[in-house]
Homo-oligomer: A and B are copies of this chain.
Amino acid sequence: MNYREVTTTGEYMARLETGADWREEIETLAADVDAEAGWFSALGSVEDAEIWFYDQDDKEYQSVTFDEPLEVAACVGNVSLLDGDLFAHTHAVLSRRNGQALAGHINAGTVFAGELYFRAFETPLTRERDEDTELDLWL
């Protein structure tokens, strides 16, 4: 296991904009507060969602789209640099009206309402291709 101690430079509460993209809003916040690395957790609701599942054998993402209103019951992830750009690696648990839960890597989703807690780190996190998993990982 690789780990590093990190130093927090600021803590932020954000309200994601109705109609914007869930993941892009997080990247916009990171850019606005000049953070190239950070950790976040969030909750809210979306009007739709594109969820990715990583195929561990084929080593590629597969996508499922839910074109329906969903609660965001939990959302967790981190901000790092990927190919020089800010990237919010974002996983989420969503739910339907009857309580059924859906989950995975959320690539996109239209914000209905979103509340986010973000910790910005001084310590840089840069993703690079990992040979074993063929994922872009930091450390």
Contacts and interface: CB of A to CB of B under 8 A. Distances in A.
A91 interface: yes
A127 to B, nearest CB: 10
A115 B89 contact: yes
Given A1-B25, A103-B71, A103-B99, A56 B66 contact: no
Interface size band for A: 35 or more
Given A39-B117, A95-B53, A132-B18, A13 B125 contact: yes
Contacts of A69: 54-57
Given A39-B117, A41-B76, A13 B4 contact: yes
Contacts of A112: 54, 56, 133
